Amino acid sequence: MTTQIEKNASPQVRRKVRRPVTGAFIGRLAVLLVAAVLTLGPVMWTLSTSLRLPSESFDLPPRFIPWDPDFTSYSEVFAQIDMIRLVVNSALMTGFIAAGQMITAAMAGYAFARLKFKGNRLLFGLVLATMMIPVQVTIVPVFMIIRGMGLADTLLALIIPAIPTAFGTFLMRQYFMGVPAELAEAAEIDGASQWRIFRSVYLPLATPGMAIVGILAFNYHWNEFFRPLILTISEENFTLPLGLVSLQGNMGTGSISVVLAGVILSMLPALVVFFFGQRSLRAGLTAGVGK
Amino acid sequence: MSDTTTDRIAAGSSGTSPVGVRRKPAPRGRRKKNLFAWVLLAPTIVGMGIFTIVPIIGSLLLAFFRWDIISRPEFVGLANFADIALDPTVRVSFLNTIVFVVVAVTLQLSIALVLASMIQERMPDWLRVFFRSTFFFPLVLSAASVSIFMGYLFNEQFGVVNWLIGLVGMAPVPWLTTPAGAAAVVIIVYVWQNFGFSFLLFVGGLGNIPKDVYEAAELDGASGIKKFMNVTMPLLSPTTLVASVMAVITALQVFDQPYVLTRGGPGDSTRSAVMVVFESAFEQLEFGRASAIGLVLMLLIMAVTYVQFQLSRRFVFYQ
């Protein structure tokens, strides 16, 4: 705000910055601040309550800033449920899905973007059309196919069906379309094989696109609830969201700080994505929307 | 798989046509290129075949059978559809879902649009980044976790929301124990987590509107609300269409929030269509019925999307 006043003072830029700090500006800022408080408030409360003594966790007035943090709830949540197991399961599932999607989407996207074969456009249209099918419609047959494969109630039941990705394929196709075709022609003249051209020329150029696919997959599957709820049965195969919901069910409204400690722990990887992958995630979420 | 093979052979033989004279070993190169394409496509295509195409066909068939997984499936014709049309729980859950979609999507889009246009206005960059990141933040959380802590916040006796309401001297609201209260909480929690996505789309759309259009409007004496209604809204309409289609499709599939917050209660007041699919299949072991409900939901999603695109022909303004 001080910079604006200084700018207003200098005559050269006065014409550019016509409007000084007005009532409208303050009004807008107030609305945005209220929205920001409503967005962050619940998360701050969750964090500070997880750092209260379990016995005091539902006491009023609530706390939004953890002045004197107490870590009892964090050790307690490890005692109440097999947190390590849940974290390992979630990490394995998410990791394999993300890696699988990055690889298969890059392969298919490259084929659709750069290789000529009969039925290319038709097949790509079909892949896109599968995005219209909601997961709830296919889940019953998927559950049966998984059972038929003998994978019922395993982590693989969650991983394998989630690897083929229509959206990721679409994204990678767009990405490869943006890479000039001359590169392949030059490599071809040098006698490089199809595989070499893909692996050594195109794939390195597509790593930012693959990062977007990976981050999207991570964000979706780390947080997903519906598929694990259906496809896993025994607690040893639960993922974090499932484990936390069942912990919440068992605790009732007792020591909620213990449940909230688990919630905060489950958020940590999401925070890493938020701080380091936000740009990629934004790009991925809004990709394909056009102008 | 057999389709793929025939396709490959067909494509390979067409490669020997005169078109492929370009470089020396053209026919063989073509065929190799084709084979290579199918190798690259195989994981995705086979995977989608097994886990999307077969299941959707399976679902279509299963909807005409009664099956509890243990005994043999029994063909029942349209009985499942007749059954769900008359079942009060199914009917109320679809009605709930539609009301939910209308209210939640309206809120989500309006909040997102207002905040997105405010953030476009002049302000220090760090402040803009702060707001943008803040509104984006709920998108990286899991709906299950969010529903857990929101459930505590809306607790009738000890919740922060009722404590705040008490501060201004009002009586505590029975949020999760009354039908209206529970529906309101599900909507609030859902919108809290999802408005950021529409916000992102609107920020992108507003950024694409050329500045000179506004300058022209200002020269013509338009200001404030008038500028927004006559310049911003028409130029933003393609974004609004995409944002609303995506918001509606997502909202029609709501499950996590009502499941964790209320398990569909009290009574059936917050039971959603997807919850009924889930319960039919995995609690009542009525797999045919569950498929039928799922298909009806999918048809609803497709119909709504179609209508939205039809309406857009009249109201969307492309530059």
Residue B23 confidence (pLDDT) above 70: no
- The count of domains in chain B is 2
How distant, in Å, are the alpha carbons of A280, A284, B5, B205 from that of A219? Answer: 11, 11, 36, 24
pLDDT of residue B18: 42
Nearest to B133 among A137, A240, A278 (CB): A278
- The pLDDT, as a whole number, for residue A18 is 52
Residue-range domain boundaries for chain A: 2-71, 81-251
CA distance B296 to B316: 29
d(CA A121, CA A113): 10
Q: Is the pLDDT of residue B256 over 70?
A: yes
CA distance A155 to chain B (A): 16
One-letter amino acid identity for B100? F
**What is the CATH number assigned to the segment(s) A81-251?**
1.10.3720.10
Q: How many Å apart are CA A235 and CA A223, to the nearest integer?
A: 17
Q: Are residue B149 and residue B45 in the same domain, yes or no?
A: no
Whether residues B40 and B91 fall in one domain: no
pLDDT tens digits, one per residue of A268-278: 988 888 888 88
Helix, strand or coil, per DSSP, at residue A87:
helix
Whether residues B180 and B306 fall in one domain: yes
pLDDT in tens, A70-98: 888 898 889 888 899 999 999 999 999 99
CB atoms under 10 Å from CB of B315, counted, come to 11
Task: Compute the Cα dihedral for B272, B276, B277, B279 and give only its sign.
Answer: positive
Q: Which domain holds residue B98?
A: 81-315
Residue A186 confidence (pLDDT): 82
Q: For residue B47, which of A100, A251, A248 has the smallest C-alpha distance?
A: A100
* Co-location of B98 and B207 in the same domain: yes
Please state the separation of Cα A64 from the chain's center in Å: 26
State pLDDT tens for residues A185-213: 888 888 888 888 888 889 998 888 899 89
Q: What percent of chain A has pLDDT above 70?
A: 90
Lowest mean pLDDT among A90-99, B4-13, B39-48: B4-13
- Check CB contact of B63 with chain A, cutoff 8 Å: no
Query: For residue A102, is pLDDT > 70?
Result: yes
One domain, residues B53 and B100: no
pLDDT number for residue A14: 43
CATH of the domain at B131: 1.10.3720.10
Residue A105 confidence (pLDDT) above 70: yes
Q: At what angle do helices A72-80 and A256-276 cross, to 10 degrees?
A: 100
pLDDT for B153 beyond 80: yes
Question: Residue B278: CB partners within 8 Å, gap ≥ 6?
Answer: A136, A226, A229, A230, B255, B259, B290
Nearest to A74 by CA among A66, B154, B157: A66
- The amino acid occupying position A251 is M
Indicate if the pLDDT at residue B200 is higher than 70.
yes
SS3 for B207?
helix
Q: What is the mean pLDDT of residues B208-233?
A: 81
Judge whether A281 and B163 are in contact, CB under 8 Å.
no
Distance CA B115, CA A163 (A): 36
Structure tokens at A12: 């050269």
Query: Pick the residue with more confidence: A266 or A17?
Result: A266
| pLDDT tens sequence across B77-95 | 888 899 899 999 999 999 9
The secondary structure of residue B171, as a DSSP letter, is: P
Point out the least confidently predicted range of A30-34, A218-222, B4-8, B276-280.
Answer: B4-8
- Same-domain check for residues B121 and B55: no
Closest-CA residue to B85 (of B237, B288, B296)? B296
Closest C-alpha to A224, from B261, B143, B137: B143
Contact B47 A163 (CB under 8 A): yes
Distance between B119 CA and the closest CA of chain A, angstroms: 8
pLDDT of res. A10 = 45
Cβ <8 Å between B152 and A256: yes
* Phi, psi for A273 (deg, rounded to 5): -60, -45
Q: Min CA distance, B70 vs chain A (Å)?
A: 12
Rounded CA separation A101/B155 (Å): 40
Using the beta-carbon criterion (under 8 Å), do A38 and B111 form an inter-chain contact? no
Tell me what pLDDT residue A291 has. 35
Residue B75 lies in a domain: no
Partner-chain contact B200 A286, CB within 8 Å:
yes
Considering the domain architecture, whether residues B104 and B51 belong to the same structural domain is answered as no
One domain, residues B175 and B32: no
Among A178-182, B218-222, B232-236, the least confident range: B218-222
Asked if residue B26 has pLDDT above 70, the reply is no
Interchain CB distance below 8 Å, B47 and A248: no
> Do B90 and B17 share a structural domain?
no
Q: How much is the mean pLDDT over chain B?
A: 85
pLDDT digits 0-9 by tens, B238-249: 888 889 988 999
